[in-house]
Amino acid sequence: MEHEITLVVNGTARRVRVPARRLLSDCLRHDLGLTGTHVGCEHGVCGCCTVLLEGRPVRSCLTFAVTVDGAEITTVEGLAGSDGRLSAVQRAFAECHGLQCGFCTPGFLCTVTALLADNPVPTDDEVIEGISGNLCRCTGYQNIVKAVHRAAELRAEET
Amino acid sequence: MTTKLFGEPVQRREDPRLLTGQGRYLDDLGREALAAAFVRSPHAHARIRDIDVGPALDVEGLVAVYTWEDLPERVGRALPLLIPHPALTHGRTAYPLAREVVRHVGEPVVMVVATDRYAAEDACALIEVDYELRKPVVGLEEAVHGAQLVHEDVPGNVGAHLVQEVPAPGGHGAREAIEAAPHTLSFRLDIERSASMPLEGRGVYARWDGRDLRVYSSTQTSTSVRMAVAAALGLPLPQVEVIAPDVGGGFGVKIVHPWPEEVLVPWAAMTLGREVKWAEDRREHFISSAHERAQVQHVRVGFDDEGRVLGLDVSILHDHGAYTPYGIIVPIVTSTQLLGPYRVGAYRVEFTAVYTNTVQVTPYRGAGRPQGVFCMERTMDKIARHLGKDRTAVREANFIRPEEFPYDQGMIFQDGRPLIYDSGDYPEMLRMIKELIGWDSFERRPGRGIGIGCYVEGTGVGPYEGGHVQITSDGRVHVSTGLTSQGQGHETAFAQIAAAELGVPIERVSVVTGDTRRFAYAVGTFASRAAVVSGNAIALACRKVREKALRIAADALEADPADLDIADGLVHVAGTPSASIPLSTVAVLANPLRYAFDEEAAKATQFSGTASPDRPPVAEGEEPGLEGRDYYSPIRSTFAAGMHAAVVETDPDTAEIKVVRYAVVHDCGRLINPMIVEGQIHGGVAQGIGGALYERMVYDQHGQLVNASFMDFLMPYATEVPHVETDHLETPSPLNPLGIKGAGEAGVIPVSAVIASAVEDAEGFAVDRMPISPSELFEARRRNRG
Ligand code: FES
Ligand code: FES
């Protein structure tokens, strides 16, 4: 049986019909065409599929789309400003070479965006703790950690 | 080189799209395509008695179900053995869908095509396969025992056996040299299975328009997939194009081709006349792609009082899994690269590659080198311990000296060519790593140790790569090369090369890789070869284009080409900046026109008066357009090198191992982009730490991979990876125009050796197995200390 739900994705209300078992990750990617959210495991470990649900990071592969009917969701496509200017976190990842293949990157960007909203000036340990739910097979994390600190700086300059 | 771009940490040109969700990975394509899913064997070894697809036929959305018997003869053939070798006397490959027998858990048995993946998986779940179980062969010992066979026609499970001997200058063999040596040691080393494990799995998406086939694959070699698919489907090559879109990591596993799915998905698309797509899920990746590393090594070494190795005799047991599509490259690389930066008196190495009922073994980043380096570096540490010498002093005593290059190791390398090191400076590198880690001032205490590991990596293997460079009449530079990218930043590094060679701003350069529509001749991305082979090919192609541009500009400016230079996209007379012509105009003039499509183009039309009436518009030997193509085919491999050192602390109670410092000195010849090279090293070290401390593929006696998920196969998170301190040495390669050597695999190669060395130092007993977990260290303490 299909259900009609509304997701407010990156500020736009989207109506979509999905079966109850449709994962939020599949709904975003295949029903709404927002393929920036990636799936690396579909069992909740890698963090590639992380999106912001009401501002908090969640694993969209462990979430049924029907359970978030009416919710506000931000995906990687919604992180840049409406003028297309990259967010501080996105710019910091580019500047610090925080990505290689880019497959884990959307999950990290969402996670870090929420992290810095909570804790604008994290310590090194807090950064590592904050990203410790996301796997990256390419970068060895060093430049990701650097990028998080740089993003904190860029955010501070902007406000 | 006219600009400073080469060697600069230029920011990556691929990042803006990858940071905004605009990357296009395999499963981001083909939204309307049908979805394929596979019924895979739940047994490690069985005969298929019957397949009943009946119960699946009612699933809503089902389109087709195929077993091996449904495949046309050509499609159903055994997959190719990609790299034959005379020593691989019993090479065996799988069928695209299992034919009668399954030989590992995960082998594909039935393909289902449906309107979406959910429906395809529903159907898979209803298909009943009746298996007659056979006893599986699991683990090296059981394989060698040979009581059970993986392939009925492969006696003793032995796929390949190879002995290589390099006698001492006086003619003595290694065994003789060891017997005659003042000191001898013998020991056994064990390395377990791991895997590339890119975060994006494999995937294939195919479109057939009734005449032409387009295949997208998450591959490390689109040109070879193209040839393999054309051959398997019986299509003329020009009717097949293969594109590697953005690829979410490869690390070796995606060099294998054609995967069963790369044949079956395009075939289904042709048969059904519909687009078909398959994206691998994580469990599938664990049980049906490829693994690496597993080896057992028996070592005997003879040495003198200084620790100089007089004879080394290594015999390697290599677990190949169920099939050998990639030949015996991994144990060959182990055997040859084991020697590292050292000259040994006499060397004998023998390997036996055996089949087991497990996932096939093909190269994973490092490709056999981590095992070889583990062997050699453990040997160096044992010699030092035996003689009571500093571990670095023993290494130093065995180094090839800087003045001895080119140095011939007397063996045949993985490219079939002599193992001759091109350049290097190992004593200087040792000095640098000791300084970086503070070797001489290290304060040792129980539970705190320091370790070191050295390696040489043959990089940039042939046969060749090519580059095509075109400057269009808008002044933009379009570069393409056939090999693929999986995160190495090729779009940036190759643009740096082209911008520097042509004297144009990098913003005007765009690079396409892995698209056979743009460049059809290539080998692929593996063996740290992309920068070396494609990089040089692109530089050579740029030089051709530059020469042509100068010739045309010289005509237009009535100057001598030798007096011209290009800067910022302008060809100008050296010393007279006002006498110049933009490359965009040169591109217009390079293509004599009849029809003007814009104002610029009008300059090249037949009444514009720019061409001499005494010559044909396109002179003899010339071609229209400002473009060029060239190839680089190395005479043999380049040899990068590196030395790593680490400080570890071990917990006295929990036996937890913490890497508190990690230092790398690295020599990959001239650096194109140091930021990218460092990133490659960081990532390699992280994978190495995984392999040394956490990652292993655990098979039970039934051949079930019991940890086939990210929950149980422990890849390091940020919390497990140490900060990596790096320093670079640059000894340019004399073998190629750019003097570069390649860096992709470097970081991972010596890590297990380094960690073993450091843990051994902290604990005071030998560490001869990798990976080592806290519970294994705990047990080892009990064994060694009672
Ligand atoms: S795909 Fe959701 S956590 Fe891995
Ligand atoms: S950049 Fe490739 S997995 Fe993180």
DSSP track, B503-515: T--GGGEEEEESB
Choice between A120 and B669, residue whose per-residue pLDDT is larger: A120
Asked if B629 contacts B468 with a C-beta cutoff of 8 angstroms, the reply is yes
Helix ranges restricted to H, B291-406: 329-337, 369-387, 391-398
Neighbours of B608 (CB within 10 A): 15
Asked if B748 contacts B252 with a C-beta cutoff of 8 angstroms, the reply is no
CATH superfamily, domain B32-134+196-288, is Aldehyde oxidase/xanthine dehydrogenase, a/b hammerhead (3.90.1170.50)
Which ligand 1 atom is nearest residue A45's CA? 3
Q: List the one residue out of B784, B766, B648, B781 whose CA is nearest residue B299.
A: B766
Residues with CB under 6 A from ligand 1: A 39-42, 44-49, 59, 61
Mean pLDDT in residue range B704-728? 96
A:B CB pairs within 8 Å:
168
Does residue B23 sit at the A interface (CB-CB below 8 Å)? yes
Which letter, b or e, does each residue of B427-437 get, where b requires 16 or more Cβ atoms within 10 Å of its Cβ? eebbbbbbebb
CB contact under 8 A, B718 and A132: yes
Does residue B561 sit at the A interface (CB-CB below 8 Å)? no
**Per-residue DSSP letter, B303:** E
Residue B416, pLDDT score: 83
Distance of CA B291 to the CA centre of its chain: 13
Strand order in the sheet with B724-728: B448-459, B638-650, B657-667, B724-728
Q: Tell me the helix, strand and coil percentages in chain B, rounded to 5.
A: 30, 25, 45
Asked if A86 contacts B185 with a C-beta cutoff of 8 angstroms, the reply is no
Give kind and range of the element (H or E) at residue B38.
strand B34-40
- Identify the closest residue of chain A to B708 by CA–CA distance: A41
How far, CA to CA in Å, does B564 sit from each of A47, B416, B558, B559, B582?
54, 43, 11, 8, 12
Q: Supply angle C-alpha A45, B751, B393, rounded to 5.
A: 165
Which ligand 1 atom is nearest residue A60's CA? 2
Residue B736, pLDDT score: 84
Does residue B687 sit at the A interface (CB-CB below 8 Å)? yes
- The CATH architecture annotation of domain B399-409+421-460+636-786 reads 2-Layer Sandwich (3.30)
Residue B526, pLDDT score: 82
**How large is the angle between the packed helices B369-387 and B391-398, nearest 10 degrees?**
110
CA–CA distance, B410 with B398 (Å, rounded to integer): 17
CB contact under 8 A, B717 and A135: yes
CATH 3.30.365.10 in chain B: give the residue spans: 136-194+290-388, 399-409+421-460+636-786, 463-632
Instruction: Give the domains, in start order, of chain A with CATH numbers.
Output: 2-78 (3.10.20.30), 88-158 (1.10.150.120)
Residue B534, pLDDT score: 87
Mean pLDDT in residue range B458-464? 86
Q: List the one residue out of B587, B718, B726 whose CA is nearest residue B668.
A: B726
Q: How confident is the model at residue B2 (pLDDT cuts 50, 70, 90)?
A: very low
Flag whether pLDDT at B46 surpasses 60: yes
Q: Is B386 helix (H, G, I), strand (E, B) or coil?
A: helix
How far, CA to CA in Å, does B176 sit from each of B168, B348, B350?
10, 11, 16
Q: Of A136-140, B211-215, B370-374, B512-516, which gets the smallest average pLDDT?
A: B512-516
The backbone torsions φ and ψ at residue B258, rounded to the nearest 5 degrees and listed phi first, read -75, 135
The DSSP bridge pattern shows strands B108-114 and B62-66 to be: antiparallel
Q: Is B113 helix (H, G, I), strand (E, B) or coil?
A: strand
Ligand 2 midpoint to CA B214 (Å) = 27
CA–CA distance, A64 with A72 (Å, rounded to integer): 14
CATH tag, B136-194+290-388: 3.30.365.10
Looking at every residue in chain B, the average pLDDT score rounds to: 94
CA–CA distance, A111 with A102 (Å, rounded to integer): 15
Cβ within 8 Å of A, B 438-497: 486-489
Looking at chain B, the whole-number percentage of residues with pLDDT higher than 90 is 81
Residue B719, pLDDT score: 96
CA–CA distance, B343 with B395 (Å, rounded to integer): 10
CA–CA distance, B735 with B271 (Å, rounded to integer): 49
pLDDT in tens, B717-771: 999 999 999 999 988 888 888 888 887 888 999 999 999 999 999 999 999 999 9
Strand order in the sheet with B46-52: B101-102, B46-52, B128-133
CB contact under 8 A, B683 and A100: yes
Residues with CB under 6 A from ligand 2: A 99-105, 136-139; B 199, 249, 487
Asked if A143 contacts A108 with a C-beta cutoff of 8 angstroms, the reply is no
CATH 3.90.1170.50 in chain B: give the residue spans: 32-134+196-288
Mutate to test the interface with B, among A85, A100, A132 (most CBs of B within 10 A): A100
pLDDT in tens, A47-74: 999 999 999 999 999 999 999 999 999 9
Does residue A141 sit at the B interface (CB-CB below 8 Å)? yes
Does residue A101 sit at the B interface (CB-CB below 8 Å)? yes
Q: Which of A46, A105, A141 sits opposite B721 (nearest CB)?
A: A141
Flag whether pLDDT at B505 surpasses 50: yes
Cβ within 8 Å of A, B 184-213: 197-200
Dihedral angle computed from the Cα positions of residues B204, B261, B691 and B775, in that order, rounded to the nearest 10 degrees = 120
Cβ within 8 Å of A, B 713-732: 715, 717-719, 721, 723-724
- The CATH architecture annotation of domain B463-632 reads 2-Layer Sandwich (3.30)
Q: Is B150 helix (H, G, I), strand (E, B) or coil?
A: coil
Quick one: tokens of B320? 């190949």
Residue B171, pLDDT score: 86
Residue B482, pLDDT score: 87
Q: Which of B11, B680, B719 sits opposite A132 (nearest CB)?
A: B719
Ligand having the closest approach to the CA of B25 = 2
Rounded to two decimals, the pTM is 0.95
Q: Is B696 helix (H, G, I), strand (E, B) or coil?
A: coil
Q: Tell me the best of A139, A142, A143 to mutate to test the pocket of ligand 2, counting ligand atoms within 8 Å of each CB and taking the most.
A: A139
Residue B599, pLDDT score: 81
CA–CA distance, B505 with A64 (Å, rounded to integer): 48
Asked if B240 contacts B216 with a C-beta cutoff of 8 angstroms, the reply is no
Dihedral angle computed from the Cα positions of residues B588, B590, B594 and B599, in that order, rounded to the nearest 10 degrees = 10
Q: Supply angle C-alpha B509, B515, B520, rounded to 5.
A: 105
Chain A residues inside the 8 Å CB shell of B118: 19, 21-22
